[in-house]
Amino acid sequence: MGVVYRAFDPLLERVVAIKTIKFDASLSEKESFERRFFREAKSVARLSHPAIVTLYDAGKAEDVAYMAMEFLEGRELRRFISEAGPLPYTRIADMMAAVADGLDYAHRQGVVHRDIKPANLMVLADGAVKITDFGIAQLQTGSKTMTGHMLGTPKYMAPEQIMGHPVDGRADIFSLGVVLYQWLTGVAPFDGETVTTIMYRVINEGPVLPTRLMPELPPGFEAILAKALAKSPEERYQTAGELAADLRRYAELGSPGPVLGLAAQAQPQPRIPPSPSEDPTMLLAHPFTDTNPLSLSPAPQEAPASPPARRGKALWLGIAAVAIAGGAFALLPTERSAGNGATPAPAASTAAPEPQPAARVDLAIAPWGEVVVDGEPKGISPPLESIELLPGHHEVEIRNGQSEPHRLTLELGAGDTYKIKHKFK
């Protein structure tokens, strides 16, 4: 975005850090950007907390906006983790709780960070942690979708943030949960070779159970991560203060058990490859899950896969969930029963009519879009390449964050193939 300078303030005789931000836009956009910049700077300047870097001043020099802030002697968290080596779980919990305290304070002041990640957390020489770059993410996106900036670090973003929905402090809680997961396990919970793959996994998939990667991990951390990484904001910690409190008492928390059930409902997944003979497979909808479809038959025992191998199994056959007593349970549909202990009805003497072949809709969406058919989400394209629909009338909508949705009406016949091609600007 710009350059950070180490500078000396001769009036107050102190060293400061000056972060510059380029005005790289048209004249009308520059004026809008400047208004947002100084409005955001005023919001950040009123934050005064031990876990938040202090902003001293803001201004403009020609086409460059700048913020003068507290100069920190320390290391970014990502560098600290690699250089410090393994730390006691109590130390990790205390440091993350301090960050959560800072976020809780900022949220109560009406300021949301929107870009919590290891690069924006500084560890000082005395072990204290400071949050930097408050307000920068909002300046990057503003009221318009700027994909190149907004998706700079998608693996730390909350699902609603990636989808362009309004965000509040609960998005920061999700991001901090991602940082904690990565610190405890050494593996990013959502990763991939491309931006679209990462986005798809953040929105639709749950990470591997932390204890599968680190068996010695205290169960309390798994309970904390399950709640912090819930897909629905309503299922997460509602305040960062609640997260901080649980981090400080992680040793008292029990395991959430094999069924965490924190997501309100399962996210639809593409069926790969599509086949008319396939039965839909229902998967558990919770923040942590193995990525293999569940089966009623016992699975063979095998050694846990390495994280890269596990991430390679990320394509599912299609999922749904049933919420019972606050939990989600996995079912695999088999034959329909006639009732408790009832004998199935005999087959009709007349053969049933042959089912009509489904119609196929191929998708070519750029850079990505959420596919909704007749009000029902079908998945994110890419990686979703095609969907099967029953013959007849269908209303299709392709959504991409804050861009205008692409809508169309389809009249599909049996066995028809139709291609939807659309590029969001």
Q: Which residues are catalytic, by number?
A: 115
Going by their DSSP bridges, the two strands 322-324 and 327-329 should be labelled as: antiparallel
Alpha-carbon gap, residue 133 to 117, rounded angstroms:
10
In angstroms, how far is the first alpha carbon of the chain from the final one?
Answer: 22
Q: Are the beta carbons of 165 and 173 closer than 8 angstroms?
A: no
Residue 281 identity (one-letter amino acid): T
Residue 90 identity (one-letter amino acid): T
Residues 6+ apart with CB under 8 A from 399: 163, 369, 370, 372, 405
For tokens 């001769």, what's the residue?
10
Q: Are the beta carbons of 203 and 160 closer than 8 angstroms?
A: no
What burial class does residue 335 get, using C-beta atoms within 10 Å of its C-beta: 0-12 exposed, 13-18 middle, 19+ buried?
exposed
Q: Are the beta carbons of 198 and 190 closer than 8 angstroms?
A: yes
Q: How many CB atoms lie within 10 A of CB 421?
A: 10
